[in-house]
Amino acid sequence: MELKERVRVNQAKIDELADSFDESTGLTWLWAFLFGPIYFAVHGFWSRAALILVLNFIIIGFFVAPFIAYPAWKIRAKEKAERALLLDAAERNR
């Protein structure tokens, strides 16, 4: 019984001390949103910084891919057209 009571008292002390060591602000979410993995790395949350960095690449890829796909196809089509014209001109000059 005494061991359970000591554990409970220690847990209460930990909870009280944790509140005094809490350095977060009301704008923590904003700073994390604006600076992403840099915010977590600066504060020493290395695993969260790595996770957010990986997620940024995945999520940004989903949002950026649709906008860069169409121009890529246009550039490829122009390159093929130029190649076809060069081959046609080369055959005519023979």
What integer pLDDT is reported at residue 12 of this predicted model?
83
What confidence tens digit (pLDDT) does each residue in 43-83 have?
888 999 999 999 988 888 778 777 877 788 888 889 888 88
Question: Alpha-carbon distance 38 to 13, whole Å?
Answer: 32
pTM above 0.85, yes or no: no
For the stretch 25-40, what's the b/e string if a residue is b when 16 or more beta carbons lie within 10 angstroms of its beta carbon? eeeeeebbeeeebebb
